[in-house]
Structure formats: structure tokens, C-alpha cells
Amino acid sequence: MNWNDVLCEMATLKCAESPVEIAGVQYDSRRVHPGDLFVAMRGGSADGNRFIDAAIAQGAAAVVTDSSEAYEALRQKHGSLGAALVEHGRRALAEASSAVFGHPQKHLALSGVTGTNGKTTTAFLLESMLRSVGRRCVLIGTIETHVAGEVRQSPHTTPESRDVVELFADGVKAGASEAVMEMSSHALEQERVWGLPVEVAIFTNLTQDHLDYHGTMEQYFAAKARLFEGVGTPPPRLAVVNTDDPYGARLAAGIERSQLVRYGMSADADFRAESIQMHAGETYFRMSTPAGVAEIRSPLTGRVNVYNLLAASAAAWARGLKLDEIVQAAAASAQVPGRFEVVPSTNGVTVVVDYAHTDDALRNLITLARELVRERGGRVITLFGCGGDRDRTKRPRMGRAAGEGSDLVVLTSDNPRSEDPSAIIAEALAGVKETGTECITEENRAKAIALAIRAAQHGDLVLIAGKGHEKVQELKNKAVPFDDVAVAAGVLKEIG
């Protein structure tokens, strides 16, 4: 694509035309190949403008910058190079990427999922429902990315716009007609999803998290709400909102330009769950919908998954699935890695790995565990830790949540990152102590998992919370291989 044609699709402050052909788009100078456009933008921790010379040395054919100083220096040193000065670097990245990759988002019906908890499971469920009726999909989320059936790694919950558009382009080439994306609050605020037209937007819930980045719950909520306002595009055609959640109710009250579908367990919900029954490995409920009443059975467990199933069902209905197709897809839904994932055991102890890493998610997880052990008189043993370099205020809250619902708490390290693991544990321990519940502290996560499982007796349920599907542990200067499921399975094998 010609550089001058790319310029026509960007909002520029200044620009220098050039007849050069653009082969690709990059925002990381290390990935630049000859003929690429390099977009230099300022970020939270790094300034891409520092790497303009490196990108040109790699063969960049044109440069977009959000720095007037960098633009002027570029024009003086490389006067013949295609260049543009823009106000918003990330918007320019999205606009240029869309142009170069041929606007693949126009060929996909996009469903976006946001909220604190439940994004991943809801996205997996919706993609599964769409695939069950023969539609090819692109799925972008926390655990993994799917491109028309091909599974790829997911480095971030929501990638940069350039990478999203490339995935969409790959999907369109493979025959995809649908896309399902988890949209994090960071991505919405940073406009990594700029210019993506959303057909169906889903809001799961909002509880305290990421205040290290957003500062306040109101700012956190405002970031999530951007999905329903449109990020460089008109608002979604249809909004699927959990109105049992206080923030969801607020969001729904302000939606004017989208068709609103409420879901939950309250009487005014359009997709409503009734007569809920839960067992380990199975959930049943009656679902009332605008299309009629359906009996839903799913191998997913727990009240939180009732909400996830309602959200996915409402979105699937909005995408044209019939009620009987939704019922069949729900029954065939597979376990999502790291979301109430049961580790096989033969000694009468149930071991579950879950991603719960907020106090609300931990409380919901423990409540479910308590319901499952009630009939057999077992105990709930909860192992958890708190992430480093993240919202510190939730640490004692997570401690209280664990202590209030558990018979025994094992407090350990999660992903300490640059922080001292023992200091993080001390902050969470303060919350556990308020409850008076017995607590064991063990900084080494592998040893802590062994302690928790070996402390369990027949009929007990051990929750290993916080990391879920993750395969590494982030330490001060490195990431080391670590898999909660594999470690727990190893301990169970030793016990026999």
C-alpha cells in the first residue's frame, strides 16, 4: 500500500508525502523489516520515539510520531522519508494498521467482553456456541488466541491494535465471520481497541481491581464503560449487561443508543436464571429469555458460571442462534483452563485450581466450594497469594475473604514481581487474622501447595487460587516455569 494512501486514513497534524510502498506496520523497532511503517508512540513506561533511528536503521520506509520534537528531527535528518506527526499515537497505530491490513474488522461481527471477573469464561463460551453452528471465529483473550480453529499464545488479554488487526486479517483469510474479544480496562483506556466496530458488548461485573492503574473505582468503571460508548466508532448495536451487579445497573441506566439486554437472577432480567442446582461438574438452571424458556445443563460448576452462561447465551441469541442451539452448545461446553479446574485425584480429596485474584472472585470461589462440601461434611482449605506491583489495597481484603469462608488458609507467594514476597504476605495476613481462621504461611508456592493438599482429609476441598492457567511465576528479575495444576497433580501422585 502506498504511504500517501495510508496518510489519507490517519488524523495528522503534519505530514510529509512519499511515493514509497508500505509493506507492514510495526510499533516495536526490533520487529521492523525493510519497507515497514514504524509508529513511534509514548507509553506508560517507555517512549517509542527513542527508537526511531533504530527503526530506520532496520529499514523503515516511513515513520509516524506523536512527538513534535521527534518529527522535526526526523524531517531534518531524513527529509526524503515518509513522515507524519499525530496527536494520538495509539489511534494512529490503529488507523494505519487497519489501512495496511485491508480493514479486516469490516468483515467480522465483533463481540467484546469486559468486566472484572468472568471475561475469559464468557468469551470461551460464546465462541464455543458460535462454532457449534458452523461459524468460524477469532477469539482473543487472556488464556489463548484462536484463529479459525488454530490455537495461538496470548501475551496480553487485549493486544495492541496492530496485533489485533493482524489476527483479524488472518481470521478473515481462513474464513472467519465472527470475532470474540476480552477487552480489559487498560486496553479500553489506552485505546488499543480504537476503531473496532463492536456488534455486541458484554459487561460481566465490576469489583475492586487494578486501582494501582486507574486510581479509583469511578475511573475504573469509566474505563469499562468506554466499550458501550464506542472507542472511535458508534456504540455497539446491542449491549448485554449483568444488572444484578450495581455497576451493571448503573451502566444499563445510561445506555440510550444500543439495544439493551439485561441478564441475571432478578425479575427484570431479559435472560434470567431460575431453579438453580449445582453439583461438582454440573450446573442446571431454567433460563427465561425473550425467545422462551430453556433448561440449561452445563459441566461448568457454580453460581458464577450461571452468570457466564447467561451472558454468553444472550450474546449468542443476539448473534442469531436459536434457543435450542444455545441449549445444545451449553451442554457441550468444555472446561476453561484455570477456571475451577479440578485436578484428578483418587484419595477422596478434591483439588481445584482457579484464577481468582480479587477478593470478590475469591469469596465467590470459596462460597461455591462450601456448597460442594456441605453434604459430605468436608472442610475448605484455601491457598492464595497476591500479585506484586499491583493494587496493594486489595491484599487485606483478599485475606479477609479467604479467612471468612475457609476452615484453613495457606498464604503463599503469587507473582511477586519486583516486590518482596514476605512483605506481600504480611499485608494479606493482616486480613486473615481479623477472621481468626487458622493460617499457615509458606513463601515457596510449590511447598505451600504440598502443605495444603497434605493437610486435607477425605471429603475436603482444596482451592489453589490466583494463577489459574498461568505457566510461569513472575519473580524480581525473571519469569520461571510454574504450573499450579502440574504441581498439585505431582503432590497427589506422591500421596497415591
Please check the confidence at residue 420 and state whether its pLDDT lies above 80: yes
What is the maximum span of the chain, computed from C-alpha positions, in angstroms?
77
* pTM for this predicted structure: 0.86
| Distance from C-alpha of 271 to C-alpha of 308, rounded to nearest angstrom | 12
Residue 478 near residue 431 (C-beta atoms within 8 A): no
- Give the pLDDT band of residue 257 (cuts 50, 70, 90): very high
- What are 15's three cell numbers? 505530514
- Give the pLDDT band of residue 174 (cuts 50, 70, 90): very high
Predicted confidence at residue 234, as pLDDT, reads 97
Q: Which residues pair with 238 in a beta bridge?
A: 200, 259
Q: State CA 221 to chain mean position distance.
A: 16
| Distance from C-alpha of 373 to C-alpha of 381, rounded to nearest angstrom | 11
Q: Locate cell 479477609: which residue?
A: 400
Q: Which residues pair with 101 in a beta bridge?
A: none
| Distance from C-alpha of 227 to C-alpha of 223, rounded to nearest angstrom | 8
pLDDT tens column, 190-205: 999 999 999 999 999 9
Percent of the chain residues past pLDDT 90, beyond the cut: 86
Predicted confidence at residue 176, as pLDDT, reads 98
Q: Which domains does the chain have, with CATH numbers?
A: 3-100 (3.40.1390.10), 104-331 (3.40.1190.10), 341-495 (3.90.190.20)
Predicted confidence at residue 467, as pLDDT, reads 95
3-state secondary structure of 492: helix
| Distance from C-alpha of 492 to C-alpha of 496, rounded to nearest angstrom | 6
| Distance from C-alpha of 271 to C-alpha of 32, rounded to nearest angstrom | 48
Report phi then psi at 232, rounded to 5: 80, 10
- Give the pLDDT band of residue 282 (cuts 50, 70, 90): confident
| Distance from C-alpha of 102 to C-alpha of 170, rounded to nearest angstrom | 11
Residue type, position 282, single letter: E
Residue 182, classified by CB atoms within 10 Å of its CB into exposed (0-12), middle (13-18) or buried (19+), is buried
Predicted confidence at residue 274, as pLDDT, reads 97
Report the pLDDT averaged over residues 471-476: 94
Predicted confidence at residue 233, as pLDDT, reads 96
pLDDT tens column, 365-394: 999 899 889 878 899 999 999 999 998 999
Report the pLDDT averaged over residues 56-62: 97
Predicted confidence at residue 209, as pLDDT, reads 74
Predicted confidence at residue 214, as pLDDT, reads 67
Q: What is the dihedral of CA 411, 417, 421, 423, to 10 degrees?
A: -110
- Going by DSSP bridges, is the β-strand pair 62-65/36-40 parallel, antiparallel, or unpaired? parallel
- Give the pLDDT band of residue 121 (cuts 50, 70, 90): very high
Residue 410 near residue 381 (C-beta atoms within 8 A): yes
Percent of the chain residues past pLDDT 70, beyond the cut: 99
pLDDT tens column, 284-342: 999 999 999 999 999 998 889 999 999 999 999 999 999 999 999 999 988 788 888 98
3-state secondary structure of 145: strand
pLDDT tens column, 138-158: 999 988 999 999 999 887 778
Report the pLDDT averaged over residues 406-432: 97
Predicted confidence at residue 44, as pLDDT, reads 67
Q: Which of 435, 424, 432 is nearest to 476 (CA)?
A: 424
Q: How far apart are the first and last CA of the chain?
A: 62
Please check the confidence at residue 403 and state whether its pLDDT lies above 70: yes
From residue 211, alpha-carbon distances to 214, 413, 424, 462 in Å are: 5, 20, 16, 29
Residues in the chain: 496
| Distance from C-alpha of 113 to C-alpha of 202, rounded to nearest angstrom | 5
- What are 353's three cell numbers? 485450581
Residue 261 near residue 289 (C-beta atoms within 8 A): no
Predicted confidence at residue 153, as pLDDT, reads 86
Predicted confidence at residue 179, as pLDDT, reads 98
Identify each DSSP E strand in 18-118 by its residue range.
24-26, 36-40, 62-65, 82-85, 109-114
Predicted confidence at residue 278, as pLDDT, reads 85
pLDDT tens column, 217-241: 999 999 999 999 999 999 999 999 9
